[in-house]
Amino acid sequence: MNPVKEDMPEIQLTKAEKEDIKEIVKIWVETIDWHAKFDEDFTLDKDGKTNFSFMVSKALYEPTQVVFVAKSGNKVIGFLYGFTKKHSGFFKKRVIAHISDIAVDDDFRRLGIGSKLMEKFEKDFARENQADELTLYVHLLNESGVKFYEKLGYSVKLLSMRKKLEY
Ligand SMILES: CC(C)(COP(=O)(O)OP(=O)(O)OC[C@H]1O[C@@H](n2cnc3c(N)ncnc32)[C@H](O)[C@@H]1OP(=O)(O)O)[C@@H](O)C(=O)NCCC(=O)NCCS
């Protein structure tokens, strides 16, 4: 059962360090496996976990990328991985701060931790890098994810469409 807000453990929000990667990857794999239950395209490839681990490890040292963790004591209970990217060379528009992955350990949800990670990303990374807007992708079937982002003021601007090819 999730702890109630009154029993909220003390949480520290910091930039991730090398030692945190294993726990970040564990939380990520759990959420990807959960996504795979409603969309088989999220089924992990045999190298998926290793590749994600490599990507977030590298992100710790890249100025255009960031990984924040929420910790209770020494335990990682949530993380956010994001980056900045320049808009195309065609439009006036400028810098985007993109949230690539955010997840909170199942046992610590609805305590405000995801919101705190998003605030930290906006304040200490996106605004620090003069980003003009925040972007992210969320699966339409991820109802809790959609509600979470809507609560934080995000709204749909582009629709991602696809046609699956059968052979
Ligand atoms: C989405 C996620 C990161 C939210 O983290 P969290 O710490 O539970 O979020 P918060 O406690 O800050 O929630 C803030 C608000 O978002 C909304 N919200 C969050 N989870 C919700 C849910 N399951 N159902 C409905 N609304 C929800 C609520 O309005 C909530 O405020 P409230 O608890 O006062 O009602 C977490 O559910 C998660 O890790 N999900 C799996 C991974 C994922 O879907 N990531 C995002 C898409 S890639």
25-81 pLDDT, tens digit per residue, is 999 999 999 999 999 999 999 999 999 999 999 999 999 999 999 999 999 999 999
Per-residue model confidence (pLDDT) at position 80? 98
Which CATH number covers residue 90? Answer: 3.40.630.30
In this predicted model, what pLDDT tens digit does every residue of 136-151 receive, in sequence order?
Answer: 999 999 999 999 999 9
Residue 134's DSSP bridge partners are: 97
In whole angstroms, give the CA distance from residue 76 to residue 61: 19
CA of 143 from ligand 1 middle (Å) equals 9
Do the beta carbons of residue 31 and residue 77 sit within 8 Å?
Answer: no
Report yes or no on 138 lying in a domain: yes
Report yes or no on 130 lying in a domain: yes
Q: In testing the pocket of ligand 1, which one of 110, 146, 152 has its CB within 8 Å of the most ligand atoms? A: 110
Report yes or no on 162 lying in a domain: no
Q: Is the pTM of this model over 0.85?
A: yes
Query: DSSP 3-state helix, strand, coil percentages of the chain (rounded to 5)?
Result: 40, 25, 40
Report yes or no on 158 lying in a domain: no
Report yes or no on 166 lying in a domain: no
CA of 17 from ligand 1 middle (Å) equals 24
Report yes or no on 46 lying in a domain: yes
Characterize the bridge pairing of strands 95-104 and 133-136.
parallel
Strand order of the sheet with strand 75-86? 11-15, 65-72, 75-86, 95-104, 133-136
pLDDT exceeds 70 at position 4: no
**Using 50, 70 and 90 to split pLDDT, how confident is the model at 106?**
very high
Our answer on whether the CB atom of 144 is closer than 6 Å to any ligand 1 atom is yes
Report yes or no on 83 lying in a domain: yes
Report yes or no on 17 lying in a domain: yes
The tally of domains found in the chain comes to 1
CA of 74 from ligand 1 middle (Å) equals 22
In whole angstroms, give the CA distance from residue 62 to residue 80: 15
Contacts of 156 (CB under 8 A, 6+ apart): none
Q: What b/e string do you get for 83-103 counting C-beta neighbours within 10 Å, with b at 16 or more?
A: bbeeeeeeeeeeebbbbbbbb
Quote the domain boundaries for residue 74.
5-151
